[in-house]
Amino acid sequence: MSVVELGRFMDDLADASGKAILPFFRAQFGLDDKARGGAPFDPVTEADRAAEVVLRAMIGQTFPSHGILGEEFGAERTDAECVWVLDPIDGTRAFIGGLPTWGTLIGLTRNGVPVRGMMHQPYLAERFTGDGRSAKLRAPAGERTLRSRRCGELGQAILATTDPRLFAAGDEAERFRALEGQVRMSRYGADCYAYCMLAAGQIDLVVEAGLKPYDIVALIPIVEGAGGRVTAWDGGSAAGGGRVIAAGDPRLHGRSEARRPAAADP
């Protein structure tokens, strides 16, 4: 499949998953808690499951040899050369609250490396796409190339994280607070949308912990395609999830690491 055909297929995935999700947004729907053993609330909705079923069916029909890793229905053939990494609704809490900062994440890895990514926000009709070399936004106002903002100093930076309470108590939380204390402004609760706003030049840093691969794989080619940098806190690949730092300006990424204790990352 050519690059153009692959792009069209990803658009088809976005179209189909959006049709599955939107009837549930700002409506009454079933809600379950995936948490076990007293763990924090981990919601999943009928919309999450319906969208992932559609995505898996389309990928399986078009690319039967490809693997799939999805949030709701697990892993299939993840030893394949090409693996699709799916989060039907990243930002389920925002979705439940009627806030349009959630999105469908559709990522593709080749030999474990993220090579294509899309964040689709069907309610706003926005599609952020990237391949690690370039990134674009398609929206009702038109299409434009994404470029992250040049910001080399923490004191000028805008930082985002989903929720500061998600950092583990102790050293991890202390490292985040130390970084937050250096920046101009911080914002919480944007989930995948924060990474896309970083790619669009609105935010400078996104720092997270406790991520799964399906939370980040699709976003890496978007951020890096816009000129940013995404790594694990220790500087390694972020594709496996865990503790992640994304910076619109690679200089800022380096300074964020340098201002932490030697063992801390970011």
Q: Is the pLDDT of residue 162 over 60?
A: yes
| Confidence band of 262 (pLDDT split at 50, 70, 90) | very low
Radius of gyration of the CA atoms of the chain, in A: 18
The half-sphere exposure of 137 on its side-chain side, counting CA atoms within 13 A, is 22
Please choose, from the candidates 225, 181, 180, the residue with its C-alpha nearest in 3D space to the C-alpha of residue 205: 180
Q: Is the pLDDT of residue 37 over 80?
A: no
Average confidence (pLDDT) over 144-156: 96
| Confidence band of 28 (pLDDT split at 50, 70, 90) | confident
| Cβ-based neighbour number of residue 105 at 10 Å | 29
Q: Is the pLDDT of residue 265 over 50?
A: no
Cite the DSSP H helix spans in 63-170.
92-96
Average confidence (pLDDT) over 164-173: 90
89 to 26, 69, 123: CA distances (angstroms): 14, 14, 12
* Span 181-213, pLDDT tens digits: 999 999 999 999 999 999 999 999 999 999 999
Is the backbone peptide bond immediately before 266 cis, with ω within 30 degrees of 0?
yes
- Predicted TM-score (pTM) of the model is 0.91
Cite the DSSP H helix spans in 67-187.
92-96, 171-180
* Span 224-239, pLDDT tens digits: 999 999 999 999 999 9
